[in-house]
Amino acid sequence: MSPGLGKVFKRLQVALLICEIPVLGFVLVVCYSLWRHNLFGEVVPYAIQLCSLLSWSTGAMGLLMLGGNPRVEIEDRVNNIPEHINAKLFEPPESPSITANSGTHARHGKRIADADDNIILEFGFLQGAAFQPVAGNCKLSFDEVCSICGLNIMLKRPWQWKLGMAWYASHLLASIILQIASTTTATIGSQSMGVIILILTSVFRGMGVAGPEEWMIPDWAMREGAGYALAMQGKTYSRT
């Protein structure tokens, strides 16, 4: 976890940086053709439509890269663990006068641990507000559990992230402006081309999401010794 860009988005970042210069140049040339001198002749409606789609896709991918990346930092709050977590780590005190010793907390009571000061943690997941246990557990020392529970994930939005969001949002704005400006030069052919491109890209995106992992993770992008998919064992839960 870090406030920087995640590793999974590195290739997308490189691809966007490579595409940024020709897309930006294409937008400037099309704008010049619209409001100054037509450089495309009779095919200017097609150029406007294609430029608008390229600008939109670049901005959308950039926003996906920045918005889908969890930029966070870990804050250590081991001395200030929330009460609802402490309630799981300590038994209620038997009396208000209880004192702290090797296994007892003056405020919360006795540690919920075995003779070796270990805690058995069950594996499971949250379904709404209810914990649903699944097969398996692990054993950790009480101090390790406290140190993990004392970590807090803080959302971070550095100025580079805000600048990037504004930059890629401007691509969407440029696409909308080009669509509005193209109403004076649009033809049936140019509009049909735009609709066909949108339909094809939607179909390809759906195929990529619904298709096998081999489509989304090619062989060259896999770590050595890694394999596709997981063998699901035991009872499987799903949200309703």
Q: Residue 97 — very low, low, confident or very high, per pLDDT cuts 50/70/90?
A: very low
Q: How confident is the model at residue 112 (pLDDT cuts 50, 70, 90)?
A: low
Higher pLDDT, 194 or 174: 174
> Which strand (E) or helix (H) includes residue 21?
helix 10-35
Instruction: State residue 239's pLDDT score.
Output: 47
Residue 115 lies in a domain: yes
3-state secondary structure of 116: coil
Does a structural domain hold residue 23? yes
Report the pLDDT value the prediction gives residue 26, as an integer from 0 to 100. 92
Percent of the chain with pLDDT over 90: 12
Query: Helices H, strands E: what count in the chain?
Result: 7, 6
234 within a domain of the structure (yes/no): no
- Whole-structure pTM value: 0.63
Tell me if 233 is assigned to some domain. Answer: no
What digits encode the pLDDT tens for the residues 136-181? 788 888 888 877 777 777 888 888 888 989 999 999 999 999 888 8
Instruction: Say yes or no: 191 and 121 in one domain.
Output: no
Residue 112 within any structural domain of the chain? yes
Tell me, yes or no, whether 163 and 106 share the same domain.
no
Phi, psi of 51 (to 5 degrees): -65, -40
Alpha carbon distances (Å) from 29 to 22, 184, 219: 10, 18, 39
The average confidence (pLDDT) of the chain is 76
Q: Is residue 239 part of a domain?
A: no
Q: What is the pLDDT of residue 173?
A: 93
Q: For the segment 199-220, what is each residue's pLDDT rounded down to a tens digit? A: 888 887 776 666 666 666 667 7
Per-residue model confidence (pLDDT) at position 216: 64
With respect to residue 163, please indicate whether it lies within any of the assigned structural domains. yes
| pLDDT top residue among 53 and 67 | 53
Q: Based on the domain organization, do 34 and 46 belong to the same domain?
A: yes
Angstrom CA distances, 214 to 72, 78, 164, stand at 30, 43, 31
> Furthest-apart CA pair in the chain: how many Å?
90
| pLDDT recorded at residue 186 | 78
In a domain, 226, yes or no: no
- Domains of the chain: total: 2
Query: Residue 179 belongs to what domain range?
Result: 7-71+156-221
